[in-house]
Amino acid sequence: MSKTIQEINEKIKKGSAVVVTAEEIIDIVRKKGAKKAASEVDVVTTGTFGPMCSSGAYFNLGHTKPRIKIGGGTCTLNDVPCYTGFAAVDVILGATAMPDYDQRNSIYPGSFKYGGAHVIEELVAGKAVKLSATAYGTDCYPRKSVETMVYLADMNEAVLFDPRNCYQNYNVAVNCSDKVIYTYMGRLLPRIGNANYCSAGQLSPLLNDPLYKTIGIGTRIFLGGGQGYVSWQGTQHNPNVKRSDNGVPRMGSGTLAVMGDLKQMSPEWLRGASMTGYGVTLTVGIGVPIPILNEEIVQYTAVRDEEIFAQVIDYSKNYPEVIPGSVAEVNYAQLKSGSITLEGRQVPTGGLSSYVCAQKIAATLKKWIVDKKFYLSEPAALLPSVDSGISVKLMADRPVKK
Amino acid sequence: MPKKRVVLTFPPSLVSQPVTYHLVKDYDLMVNILRGVVTPNEESGLVVELSGAKHALEGGMKYLSETGIHVQPLGQDIKWHEDKCTHCTACIPACPTQALTVDRESMEVSFEKDKCIACELCIQICPYRALEIQF
Ligand code: SF4
Ligand code: SF4
């Protein structure tokens, strides 16, 4: 038996839709089988809460009196530079941007206390932020500078936009060298002293729809505590990688570009993060509902941590030098147990993506649907899948014409 | 009950002294060893928490310094801001004393202050500044 998204929405409206989380569906499918589960369950909710550098927000700041054309000029929010290559008062703030005076990692290893991600978190928390802008002045936009305090509520539009988020699986990072290294995967101790991973595993959105059969452009999602949308496949979307028989990729693969109204969001689900020795990044809460259209889809959502494998990569050499090869392959049940066995030794594991928060997001999304506050949307187009021929390329290094 | 956390450094000649025995027996103190590196013939260190009556604590401290052991108060306190913690577990492998632990069923992180020796190893790991040094 199969269902349509429209039928599911009607059930939500009537209050008869059965909604469970990606954790709860595991036992349901195990006890009842996929066929019965598919007919009984209408929606499975997923969640993830991990750091993602490819995050940012764009704002329309409102026009000043007299007008200023910040486009082509400069603009900072709490001293963090925004991108100003757009119209008069449209600016973009990236999560990883930092004030010019930040010492970066010139004092080893570098603490990266404050950046774009923190500005976004503070705006969403309702705090005042210092805006400074300069311009060259034109006949129609005469003003040359402005300095003021702004609130999120003042802005005409404030939109979270992540060109890439929601990574479908990810590397497990280790350090095979004999000195400590600081990476976006955290501090890695020498001689494989620890192993860090970053995925919600069985709760992660794209691991529950491994071949992108339901999630597509226009899918309505939980985003940062508000309702947002999948706007495109994410950058570096890479469907053609090694997969298990259950369709689940055994390494980083698909990604989502997402966007939504910042004014609906909450600082609980948008957190500025400082990665020692690396930089600033934004941790974003995302939850995607998966419509249970048929047996095949419900089977995908029943995936368990022990069936999801990831590659252990050396971040002292292989990752920075782009040398293929992994130290080992482990699954998320092993990673979550607190240690994995590598080269015959027990190696402690640490997470970067919060499972507790992922559970909370999946439960919140479930509640929204049950409470009729959230309806499923029909994707306008599905994401490129394994048959698309898409695979990620490196930058070409060509001689530059002088 | 008053408590004191101190770092004791023993010169090699004093390593064989039954210090904790005396603290317990003669001063009626509770001695909780938070961390220790004791190596015969080398300088050794113990981080201990002493608790007992006020006068007993004073007596114990006096005894320790008189034996020639270097006594230093444990510098800072580490505070775990539960509201800022995302339970990501990044800090867990860094903590040498298991003051920071995870319940592997629920994946929830918790902090037991009594086990913390303020080594600060976790401070630079937490991306959300949920762990903080308090002076
Ligand atoms: S300072 Fe941090 S790492 Fe060191 S013992 Fe305390 S909690 Fe553990
Ligand atoms: S690293 Fe920070 S946020 Fe993560 S579990 Fe430890 S204290 Fe909590």
User: Residue ranges per domain, chain A?
Assistant: 5-52+161-375, 62-155
Of A199, A238, A392, A292, nearest to A4 by C-alpha is A292
Of A52, A336, A259, A306, nearest to A167 by C-alpha is A52
pLDDT band, residue B131 (cuts 50/70/90): very high
Cα angle, residue A351 at apex, residues A258 and A27 outer, rounded to 5°: 80
Question: Which two structure tokens, joined as six digits, stand for A2?
Answer: 């199969």
What's the gap in Å between B115 CA and the centre of ligand 1? 8
What average pLDDT does the structure give for chain B? Answer: 87
- To the nearest whole Å, the CA of B89 is away from the closest chain A CA by 5
CB atoms within 10 A of CB A325: 9
Q: How many helices (H) and strands (E) does chain B have?
A: 2, 8
Q: What is the mean pLDDT of residues A200-226?
A: 98
Q: Which chain A residues are Cβ-neighbours of B93 within 8 angstroms?
A: 194, 348-350
Residues of chain A above pLDDT 90, percent:
99
Q: Is B132 on the interface with A (CB under 8 A)?
A: no
**Interatomic CA distance for residues A227 and B132, integer angstroms:** 33
φ, ψ of residue A136 to 5 degrees: the values are: -90, -10
Q: Is B110 on the interface with A (CB under 8 A)?
A: no
**If residue B100 lies in a helix (H) or strand (E), which one and from where to where?**
strand B100-103
Q: In the predicted model, is pLDDT for residue A336 greater than 90? A: yes
Q: Is A356 on the interface with B (CB under 8 A)?
A: yes
Residue-wise pLDDT tens digits, A61-98: 999 999 999 999 999 999 999 999 999 999 999 999 99
pLDDT band, residue B75 (cuts 50/70/90): low
Catalytic residue among A53, A75, A82, A140: A140
- To the nearest whole Å, the CA of A306 is away from the closest chain B CA by 15
Determine, for residues B93 and A275 on separate chains, whether the beta-carbon distance falls below 8 Å. no
Q: In the predicted model, is pLDDT for residue A377 greater than 90? A: yes
Structure-model confidence comparison of residues B56 and A159, the more confident one: A159
Please tell me which of the candidates A186, A275, A336 has its beta carbon nearest to residue B107: A336
Per-residue H/E/C for B26-72: HHCCEEEEEEEECCCCCCEEEEEEEECCHHHHHHHHHHHHHCCCEEE
**Interatomic CA distance for residues A246 and A33, integer angstroms:** 16
- A140 has catalytic annotation: yes
Q: Is B121 on the interface with A (CB under 8 A)?
A: no
**Interatomic CA distance for residues A194 and A172, integer angstroms:** 10
Contact A123, A58 (CB under 8 A): no
Q: What's the pLDDT at A78?
A: 98
Determine, for residues A354 and B86 on separate chains, whether the beta-carbon distance falls below 8 Å. yes
Q: What's the pLDDT at B1?
A: 78
Q: What is the mean pLDDT of residues A108-125?
A: 97
Q: Is A350 on the interface with B (CB under 8 A)?
A: yes
Per-residue H/E/C for chain A: CCCCHHHHHHHHHHCCCCEEECCHHHHHHHHHHHHHHHHHCCEEECCEEEEECCCEEEEECCCCCCCECCCCCEEEECCEECECCCCCCEEEEECCCCCCCCCCCCCCCCCCCCCHHHHHHHHHCCCCEEEEEECCCCCCCCECEEEEEECHHHCCEEEEEEEEECCCCCCEEECCCCCCEEECCEEECCCCCCEEECCCHHHCHHHCCCCCCCCEECCEEEECCEEEEEEEECCCCCCCCCECCCCCECCCCCCEEEEEEHHHCCCCCEEEEEECCCEEEEEEEEECEEECCCHHHHHHHCCCHHHCEEEEEECCCHHHHCCCCCCEEEEHHHHHCCEEEECCEEEEEEECCCHHHHHHHHHHHHHHHHCCCCCCCCCCEECCCHHHCCCCCCCCCCCCCC
Determine, for residues B127 and A337 on separate chains, whether the beta-carbon distance falls below 8 Å. no
Q: What is the mean pLDDT of residues A297-313?
A: 98
Q: What's the pLDDT at B18?
A: 85
Determine, for residues A356 and B106 on separate chains, whether the beta-carbon distance falls below 8 Å. yes
Question: Which two structure tokens, joined as six digits, stand for A374?
Answer: 């959230």
Determine, for residues B86 and A338 on separate chains, whether the beta-carbon distance falls below 8 Å. no
Structure-model confidence comparison of residues B101 and B135, the more confident one: B101
What's the gap in Å between A367 CA and the centre of ligand 1? 37
Question: Which two structure tokens, joined as six digits, stand for A270?
Answer: 């948008």
Residues of chain B above pLDDT 90, percent:
35
Q: Report DSSP state, residue B76.
A: -
Q: Whose CA is nearest to atom 5 of ligand 1?
A: B116
The number of C-alpha atoms within 13 Å of B40 and in the hemisphere containing its C-beta is 1
Q: In the predicted model, is pLDDT for residue A28 greater than 90? A: yes
Q: What is the mean pLDDT of residues A110-122?
A: 97
φ, ψ of residue B112 to 5 degrees: the values are: -110, 105
B117, B131, B134, B135: which to mutate for ligand 1, most atoms within 8 A of CB? Answer: B117
Q: Which chain B residues are Cβ-neighbours of A114 within 8 angstroms?
A: none
Q: Report DSSP state, residue B1.
A: -
pLDDT band, residue B67 (cuts 50/70/90): confident
pLDDT band, residue B41 (cuts 50/70/90): low
Of A300, A211, A292, nearest to A7 by C-alpha is A292
The closest ligand to the CA of B122 turns out to be 1
Q: What is the mean pLDDT of residues A234-258?
A: 97
Structure-model confidence comparison of residues B85 and B133, the more confident one: B85
**Interatomic CA distance for residues A34 and A151, integer angstroms:** 49
Q: What is the mean pLDDT of residues A372-397?
A: 96
Q: What is the value of pTM for the model shown?
A: 0.89
Q: What's the pLDDT at A389?
A: 92
Q: Whose CA is nearest to atom 3 of ligand 2?
A: B85
Query: Which domains, ranges and CATH numbers included, belong to chain B?
Result: 3-73 (3.30.70.260), 77-134 (3.30.70.20)
